[in-house]
Structure 1
Amino acid sequence: MTGISEISGMWPETQQFGLSGTSRYLPIADHGLIGDLRTAALVGVDGTIDWYCCPRFDAPSVFGAILDADRGGSFQLTADVPARTKQFYFPDTNVLITRFYAPDGVGEIQDFMPIMDESREIDRHRLIRRVLCARGSLPFRARVAPRFGYATEPHTVRVQEGRAIFTAPSLSLTLTASVPLEADNQDVWSQFKLHEGESAVFALDRVGDGVEMRSCPLAEAEEQFAATVKFWRTWLSSSRYRGRWREMVHRSALTLKLLTYAPTGGIVAAPTTSLPEQIGGERNWDYRHVWIRDAAFCVYALLRLGFTGEAEAFMDFLSRHVTTCGVDESGPLQIMYGIDGRCDLPERELGHLEGYQGSAPVRTGNAAVGQLQLDIYGALIDSIYLYDKWGQPISSDQWDQVCVLVDWVCDNWDQPDEGVWETRGGRKDFVYSRLMCWVAIERATRMAIHRGLPADLSRWRENRDTIYRQIMRRGWSRELQAFVQHYDEDVLDAAVLMMPLAKFVSPTDPKWLSTLDALGRVLVSDSLVYRYDPRTSPDGLRGEEGTFSICSFWYVEALARAGRLDEARLAFEKMLTYANHLGLYAEEIGHTGEQLGNFPQAFTHLALISAAFKLDLALG
């Protein structure tokens, strides 16, 4: 899979590499992702790194031009002549290659963050950019313009002995290069020409806090390239998937792995913050945290592929971190945690940044952390159930924790909450929340019976059955002939697509088939599925949003389970056309097919894996 764009390398000598208006920003989809299981960077099809946080996912940005083209900072590296570009991943890896095609030559940039093993150490951070000339000759130009602390911290730069040292109050970075570097105010730039077979290397390293400076000669960069390729290919070789959509499923798996924070086992929802759900709108959120729901679903997807190590690491994250925030009126679980397990994620707005294409505010932290979302208990306990079934039997301590959660659910399931979509329009009796409370109790009951574990089964069964009957009575609309978003109003919600997926209802039950038809009429557009209609179900926010890609893949799976295989396969194939040139998805898809929201998003990729599995199985 490749993407093609026209770019120009004729940049003014002393200006930032930018254009005017919204053209200063690449489309969200025109990026690839690299990472080292601690942090990640977005690399545009023009060779620019416009998003990078160091030393970890949720750290302040060093390069943040995707959120402010003028102030955010970037690492630009490209051909210094007009050229076409193509971008692809080195096969079966997360090493990204951006190629430049010019009249006099062909060159490429190989971008990666070295990974040698599954070490949990925290301080190692290196970003390598190898530049090669494959044919003819090609001039290149680079400008490294870090803007520390979300562009709030001043920094100094000095160039000495083939390296540049950037020093800010909170962080120091060194740039080592095999070509001459020159300082330009706060930035460093280089202009060089490569002939066929020649290469150059740029290596950006964190220094300080006991991390010493190091060089990066060409031979070392080549060794680290080979080691990183080997790491990713070795990891991917554990996949059990051999179905029709192997390339897309494996790209999704590699993406989920990139979103893992190795030191703790947490999985972030996305590596970015504040990429808008509507251009110019306010639906801009920080996703660089561990959502219990998203991470639990990720564990489910990776377990299906055979990656038990990630599931084990997440179980360790739960045991070490998730029970540390105490029990309050919102329950024993928060909906999200920091990647290090911290509970406090204060939301603040960065008013000095204009936001992607002027989409303000830019936010860090997330105020939704204090919401009550009852569905997370079902998502979590379902993942524990699957880990116990497909991975390793859970420990006695872990079972004790499960019992605490289930007992709390039994006491608290019958109350309004903010729901799966984190609406800010007040608590309601959401059907999906009740559904996942049913899942929590039902899966725990299965584990207790299967392994003979101690549990108050009579109480659990009574609550499980009461939830079931309540949903069937109050969650069903006679007028719409469908299950609805919440009790007492006739509003549809794509979240109920999880009903047959969670085995709450038969996928061919007449009530469910009627619901599927209703969703298709109201919320589905060319296989794309809206979460709900904000006009009929106010969510406390202004503006509109695109279709939600996880819901689109849920729709595919629901169709497949209902036996509507031709529809399911067509919808799935259509969804694949909305991926970017690398097979990556943001959270949403806009009216003209553009990617919207934080990118790439774990939720979307895990749902793709699940839908592909189910559709493959159904097609035989």
Structure 2
Amino acid sequence: MGGTDGDRGAAGDHPAAEGHEAAAQHGGGRDGGPGTGDGHGTGDGPRGGAGRRYVPIADHGLIGDLRTAALVAIDGTIDWYCSPSFDAPSVFAAVLDADRGGCFELAAAVPARTKQFYFPDTNVLITRFYTADGVGEVQDFMPVSEDPAETGRHRLIRRVLCVRGTVPFRVRVAPRFDYGTRPHTVRRAGDVTVFESERLSLGLTSTVPVTPDGDDVRARFDLTEGATAVLALDHLAEGVTPRGCARDEAENAFATTVRYWRRWLSSSRYRGRWREMVHRSALTLKLLTYAPTGAIVAAPTTSLPEEIGGERNWDYRYVWVRDAAFCVYALLRLGFTQEAEAFMGFVFRHVSPGDGDPTGPLQIMYGIDGRTDLSETELGHLEGHLASAPVRVGNAAAEQLQLDIYGALIDSIYLYDKWAEPVSSDQWDHVCALVEWVGGHWDQPDEGIWETRGGRRKFLYSRLMCWVAIERAIRMAHRRGLPADLPRWQACRDTIYRRIMSHGWSEQRGAFVQHEDGDVLDAAVLMMPLTKFMAPTDPKWLRTLDSLTEDLVSDSLVYRYDPGVSPDGLRGGEGTFSICSFWYVEALTRAGRLDEASLAFEKMLTYANHLGLYAEQIGHGGEQQGNFPQAFTHLSLISAAFNLDRALG
């Protein structure tokens, strides 16, 4: 899903591009958990030299402070960072343009192997450098402060340690403000180096000397065993003054950040077979939340390609109602009710029919602050990851009609009401308004879940989720004794059910199909048993599952549909869609095909990166494609693991 076509993608992983060998060797424990990424760099110059202008997208980790996030490559370079929020203009964007994007390099200054892992049960990222004379590591994190006086401070800390022998390090801090379009100056202010542009300033503090180099600063230093160095980058704004970051302060911030993440994760109720992967997915979803409003972004990046060299590049740094609602389901399953409560606050503040006009449809996505104007533009000066243009900011899919979001939203409200807190009377009135709109408009053609540009159709999935919207509201009314026009709602629900059964089934294919009176298969129908629309062992459903397996499944990986027979209005192809692959696991599980489900799930775990992170799609060679990491994929992993665990007993 995602851009103007909705294919929200995941980062492009292309081992052969630019002569670059795959830098990550993926390992794992017996429970399918992530291993440590193993990379190789020469230590000579940017990206380790050897013509490596881009690191594969999967060779990154994510850090964040619940307001913004950064991608740290396996060679120690911060390739992506927006300040002060997810959807702010980038400061470092080398992942989209190696020359103009800007980056923060920190690596061994001699040839080194690198490995990357998360400090256990946290979002603190550690990159290790193995050299001939010693071993060093960089601990990257953003402090998460619950002190109201600190909410305006956004700090990125890079703590460097030598753990064995002696290791020389090199540093280059090269910000390029506003996606590389705004010039900046470099000046000293006491012990702080200030990078100052028209709209944004950053302050760099360092325990090692740094030297100006044009618009950048550089440093080289040696550490012996037990020695440390600290570099900290602060967002400077009104009321937020530059502040040093001594070794003791960095050590305290490290300990505080570790405690925060471990305390948060301790609320998880999951004790199943795939605890490491499920908890990494939960930590990733938490990183994608915007604490000030409760918003949940689809991904922290923009324009990472779904196909190297292709045009399917979209901006995912926004709140898709569908994605965020599914996230609420996944987090509630694990026991994280505060995140659900925060998102419900966002929903009832900002997501309303017609955005104030009760006669209009919901907008499918919003800014993290609830804004509705997400106008899409192209940044022609950036070449795109591995020359995959265009680079886009904003997302024109916000203007599409997608009827399925009503089902996702009301289902999340139903689950919140059931597992967390009862909805208020005002909130119930809001739900009733949504149901009334669905009742009058469910039969329209729309762009559908995949946000196609091939024209509006009467998609089965859209009708399925309209059925979910009304059915869940009826359940809430019955369980709570809430006022509702139940006879009319039930009649509408049943009409949608019969319409799907009569017009969504193809006798020729022996399966439920993508849109009414057609014969094209679509992996979105995997949600039919998952939403309890029909029994997972219904003969019609089992025939559909067999047809999907034959036509859209490749070694457990699932394509959304075949664009050759269902044109989506875009050039090029795409990889398999990871959320569909986890839906497939869950459908097999519910159908009682546990051996098949277990094997498919274990295979999917091998496609995670070295840290257990996923993009949206997987390419033909197993590379990750599109924006990274992707909320959709991680929430579906949680759901599949939870239900497969329960079925296996």
What interval of TM-score do these two structures reach, taking the shorter chain for normalisation?
over 0.9
Partner Cα separation in structure 1 for residue 329 and residue 151 of structure 2 = 26
Partner Cα separation in structure 2 for residue 121 and residue 373 of structure 1 = 39
Task: Name the residue aligned to 2:177.
Answer: 148
Over 3 Å counting, the alpha-carbon distance change for 1:407 and 1:20 in structure 2 is farther
Is 2:227 the partner of 1:198? yes
1:283-338 deviation digits (Å, cap 9, x = unpaired):
00000000000000000000000000000000111122223962569934110000
Trace 1:58-69 onto structure 2 (pairs within 5 A): 58-69=87-98
Task: Name the residue aligned to 1:9.
Answer: 43
Query: Do the aligned partners of 2:306 and 2:617 also contact (CA within 8 Å) in 1?
Result: yes
Query: Do the aligned partners of 2:585 and 2:597 also contact (CA within 8 Å) in 1?
Result: yes
Is 2:565 the partner of 1:536? yes
Query: Do the aligned partners of 1:162 and 1:181 also contact (CA within 8 Å) in 2?
Result: no
Task: Name the residue aligned to 1:556.
Answer: 585
Task: Name the residue aligned to 1:249.
Answer: 278
Partner Cα separation in structure 2 for residue 450 and residue 524 of structure 1 = 39
Query: Do the aligned partners of 1:111 and 1:130 also contact (CA within 8 Å) in 2?
Result: yes
Trace 1:496-507 onto structure 2 (pairs within 5 A): 496-507=525-536
Query: Do the aligned partners of 2:295 and 2:343 also contact (CA within 8 Å) in 1?
Result: yes
Task: Name the residue aligned to 1:601.
Answer: 630
Is 2:146 the partner of 1:117? yes
SS at match of 1:130: strand
Partner Cα separation in structure 2 for residue 138 and residue 593 of structure 1 = 34
Trace 1:308-327 onto structure 2 (pairs within 5 A): 308-323=337-352, 326=355
Task: Name the residue aligned to 1:49.
Answer: 78
Amino acid paired to 1:143: R
1:135-169 deviation digits (Å, cap 9, x = unpaired):
00000000000000000000001135432100001
Amino acid paired to 2:369: D
Question: Deviation at 1:116?
Answer: 3.1
Partner Cα separation in structure 1 for residue 570 and residue 510 of structure 2 = 29
Query: Do the aligned partners of 1:122 and 1:263 also contact (CA within 8 Å) in 2?
Result: no
Partner Cα separation in structure 2 for residue 617 and residue 482 of structure 1 = 28
Partner Cα separation in structure 2 for residue 138 and residue 281 of structure 1 = 41
Amino acid paired to 1:616: D
Task: Name the residue aligned to 1:340.
Answer: 369
Task: Name the residue aligned to 1:392.
Answer: 421
User: Which has the bigger relative contact order, CA under 8 A and spacing at least 6?
Assistant: 2
Question: Deviation at 1:223?
Answer: 0.4
Query: Do the aligned partners of 1:493 and 1:532 also contact (CA within 8 Å) in 2?
Result: yes
Over 3 Å counting, the alpha-carbon distance change for 1:286 and 1:216 in structure 2 is same
Over 3 Å counting, the alpha-carbon distance change for 1:568 and 1:210 in structure 2 is same
Partner Cα separation in structure 2 for residue 486 and residue 324 of structure 1 = 25
Task: Name the residue aligned to 2:437.
Answer: 408
1:529-562 deviation digits (Å, cap 9, x = unpaired):
0000111000011100000000000000000000
SS at match of 1:24: coil
Question: Deviation at 1:5?
Answer: 1.1
Question: Deviation at 1:117?
Answer: 2.7
Query: Do the aligned partners of 1:327 and 1:333 also contact (CA within 8 Å) in 2?
Result: no
Query: Do the aligned partners of 1:119 and 1:262 also contact (CA within 8 Å) in 2?
Result: no
SS at match of 1:275: coil
Runs (4 or more) in structure 1 with deviation over 4 Å come to 16-21, 118-122, 327-330
Query: Do the aligned partners of 1:62 and 1:151 also contact (CA within 8 Å) in 2?
Result: yes
Question: Deviation at 1:208?
Answer: 2.2
Query: Do the aligned partners of 2:74 and 2:127 also contact (CA within 8 Å) in 1?
Result: yes
SS at match of 1:471: helix
Task: Name the residue aligned to 1:371.
Answer: 400
Partner Cα separation in structure 1 for residue 459 and residue 211 of structure 2 = 59
Partner Cα separation in structure 2 for residue 202 and residue 118 of structure 1 = 23
Trace 1:432-511 onto structure 2 (pairs within 5 A): 432-511=461-540
1:18-47 deviation digits (Å, cap 9, x = unpaired):
7576x3110110000000000000000000
Partner Cα separation in structure 2 for residue 456 and residue 121 of structure 1 = 48
SS at match of 1:180: coil
Trace 1:237-276 onto structure 2 (pairs within 5 A): 237-276=266-305
Trace 1:69-88 onto structure 2 (pairs within 5 A): 69-88=98-117
Partner Cα separation in structure 2 for residue 382 and residue 246 of structure 1 = 26
Amino acid paired to 2:481: G
Partner Cα separation in structure 2 for residue 318 and residue 324 of structure 1 = 11
Query: Do the aligned partners of 2:177 and 2:197 also contact (CA within 8 Å) in 1?
Result: yes
Task: Name the residue aligned to 1:168.
Answer: 197
Partner Cα separation in structure 2 for residue 119 and residue 236 of structure 1 = 22
Query: Do the aligned partners of 2:374 and 2:395 also contact (CA within 8 Å) in 1?
Result: yes
Amino acid paired to 1:84: R
How high is the TM-score relative to the length of structure 1?
0.98
SS at match of 1:215: coil
Is 2:130 the partner of 1:101? yes
Partner Cα separation in structure 2 for residue 89 and residue 265 of structure 1 = 25
Task: Name the residue aligned to 2:62.
Answer: 33
Question: Deviation at 1:488?
Answer: 1.9
Which shifted more, 545-554 or 328-337?
A: 328-337
Question: Deviation at 1:124?
Answer: 1.8
Question: Deviation at 1:121?
Answer: 7.0
Query: Do the aligned partners of 1:62 and 1:73 also contact (CA within 8 Å) in 2?
Result: yes
Question: Deviation at 1:17?
Answer: 5.0
Query: Do the aligned partners of 1:18 and 1:69 also contact (CA within 8 Å) in 2?
Result: no
Any unmatched runs of 5+ in structure 1?
A: none
Task: Name the residue aligned to 1:229.
Answer: 258
Partner Cα separation in structure 2 for residue 94 and residue 590 of structure 1 = 27
Query: Do the aligned partners of 1:163 and 1:181 also contact (CA within 8 Å) in 2?
Result: no
SS at match of 2:402: coil
Partner Cα separation in structure 1 for residue 563 and residue 99 of structure 2 = 34
Query: Do the aligned partners of 1:2 and 1:88 also contact (CA within 8 Å) in 2?
Result: yes
2:318 to 289, 293, 315: 289
Question: Deviation at 1:175?
Answer: 0.4
Partner Cα separation in structure 2 for residue 583 and residue 383 of structure 1 = 26
Percent identity between the two aligned chains: 74
Query: Do the aligned partners of 1:269 and 1:290 also contact (CA within 8 Å) in 2?
Result: yes
Partner Cα separation in structure 1 for residue 150 and residue 327 of structure 2 = 23
Task: Name the residue aligned to 2:27.
Answer: none
SS at match of 1:440: helix
Query: Do the aligned partners of 2:41 and 2:47 also contact (CA within 8 Å) in 1?
Result: no
Query: Do the aligned partners of 2:43 and 2:49 also contact (CA within 8 Å) in 1?
Result: no
The number of equivalent residue pairs is: 615
Query: Do the aligned partners of 1:120 and 1:264 also contact (CA within 8 Å) in 2?
Result: no
SS at match of 1:326: helix
Partner Cα separation in structure 1 for residue 155 and residue 253 of structure 2 = 10
Question: Deviation at 1:122?
Answer: 4.8
Task: Name the residue aligned to 1:304.
Answer: 333
SS at match of 2:351: helix
